[in-house]
């Protein structure tokens, strides 16, 4: 596969070979171990495609409160069918999924931009700072400010001085 991708480095070859490489990748996807899952994604009416639509919507609107019934309607499903399908695909409820997204985003913000923990909590959708802190600690094992400091310290690399 690496050789095939290197062949695409030449502009004159790219126009001819790129569609073939793309076609082979798709073929391997649909005939490989995860082929059944990939084929389900391609079906517009499958539970998996509905859930992927919901996942995309939740990722784009993670800071906003939502009702499961509204997201189910957006996906063209009843609330019970949506909940069952979502749980089967993601192994968590839609609300748990939203919480994961919120906390991951908060962690990224805290690690890359040191600042106000309460403000970050609000930015990702938490109105209650103590709830944010409690859920953050439960997921990451440390309070937000301590975890952020640890993450920033872990990525710092010493600057060497050249003679």
82-91 in b/e burial notation, b at 16+ Cβ within 10 A? bbebbeebbe
Kindly report the backbone phi and psi dihedral angles of residue 92, in degrees, each rounded to the nearest multiple of 5, phi listed first.
-155, 165
| Tens digits of residue pLDDT in 43-82 | 545 567 788 889 999 999 999 999 999 999 998 999 999 9
| Angle between helices 47-60 and 35-42 in degrees, nearest 10 | 80
pLDDT score recorded for residue 133? 97
Measure the CA–CA gap between 44 and 146, rounded to whole angstroms. 45
> What superfamily does domain 97-155 belong to in CATH?
Homeodomain-like (1.10.10.60)
pLDDT reported for residue 44: 47
- What is the pTM (predicted TM-score) of this model? 0.67
- What is the CA 48 to chain-centroid distance, rounded? 16
Per-residue model confidence as pLDDT tens for the chain (163 residues): 554 545 556 667 767 777 777 777 766 766 777 766 665 555 545 567 788 889 999 999 999 999 999 999 998 999 999 999 899 888 999 999 999 999 999 999 998 887 789 999 999 999 999 999 999 999 999 999 999 988 888 877 555 555 5
Q: Where are the domains of the chain?
A: 46-91, 97-155
Nearest-angstrom CA–CA distance, 102 and 108: 10
């Amino acid at each position: 596969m690496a050789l095939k991708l290197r062949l695409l480095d030449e502009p004159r070859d790219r126009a001819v070979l790129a569609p073939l490489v793309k076609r082979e990748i798709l073929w391997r996807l649909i005939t490989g171990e995860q082929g059944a899952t990939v084929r389900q994604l391609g079906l517009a009416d499958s539970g998996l495609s509905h859930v992927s639509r919901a996942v995309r919507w939740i990722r784009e609107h993670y800071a906003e409160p939502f009702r499961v019934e509204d997201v189910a309607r957006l996906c063209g499903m009843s609330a019970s069918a949506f909940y069952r399908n979502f749980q089967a695909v993601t192994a968590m409820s839609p609300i748990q999924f939203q919480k994961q997204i919120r906390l991951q985003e908060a962690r990224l913000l805290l690690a890359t931009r040191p600042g106000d923990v309460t403000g970050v909590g609000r930015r990702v959708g938490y109105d209650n700072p103590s709830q944010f802190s409690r859920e953050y600690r439960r997921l990451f094992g440390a309070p937000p400010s301590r975890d952020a400091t640890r993450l920033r310290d872990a990525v710092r690399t010493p600057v060497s001085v050249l003679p």
